Amino acid sequence: MDWFEKLNDYFPDHELKDPDQLQSLLQSSPYYHKEETEEYLILYAEFSTFIFIDYLLVTGKKRGAGIGSKLLERFKKKGKMIILEAEPVDADDPATAKRMNFYKKNGFQKADRIRYTREDDSGEEFQMNILYWPAEDTDQEMIMDKMRKACREIHNFHAHRFYGRKLADPDEALEWKH
């Protein structure tokens, strides 16, 4: 099974980027990277001041064995802020609560002052949580700025070519909660 099939089997369709966009990111973006082993798959962007984790997947047989936590610890040792997206907890999907608990257990906190709304291919809106580490003394203005950069440099990388539009226009997708 190739790496995109692994993503496709695990992540909801509305969260997946076009496989050609991902290939383009990997080939042309100086920030975007992929690591794959039999145990995990991670796609991430490493900027000078932060890391944006786009996709993190521990294979089913290995899930719960501490592999994801060890991988996050390795990224934490770089000394940069880490930002990622996670779908809100849904009572009809117990896996969403497991994912949020996993990130909380690993020291991530939800950016509770930021609303992040995306659109799927059919124009349906969906919410995502922005999680970040380190959680202590982190100004959410800084998180907003870094998330805008992730939208511009990663989500919108050649987006018009693959979708005919911006995938996550930071001026529309990100806003302050009142």
C-alpha 132, offset from chain centre: 10
Q: What average pLDDT does range 52-57 have in this prediction?
A: 97
pLDDT band at 1 (very low <50, low <70, confident <90, very high): low
Q: What is the tens place of the pLDDT at every residue in 4-34?
A: 999 999 898 889 999 999 999 999 999 999 9
Q: What is the pLDDT of residues 72-112, one digit of tens each?
A: 999 999 999 999 999 999 999 888 999 999 999 999 999 99
**What is the residue extent of each domain of the chain?**
3-172
Count, in order, helices (H) and strands (E) of the chain.
7, 8
CATH class of domain segment(s) 3-172:
alpha beta
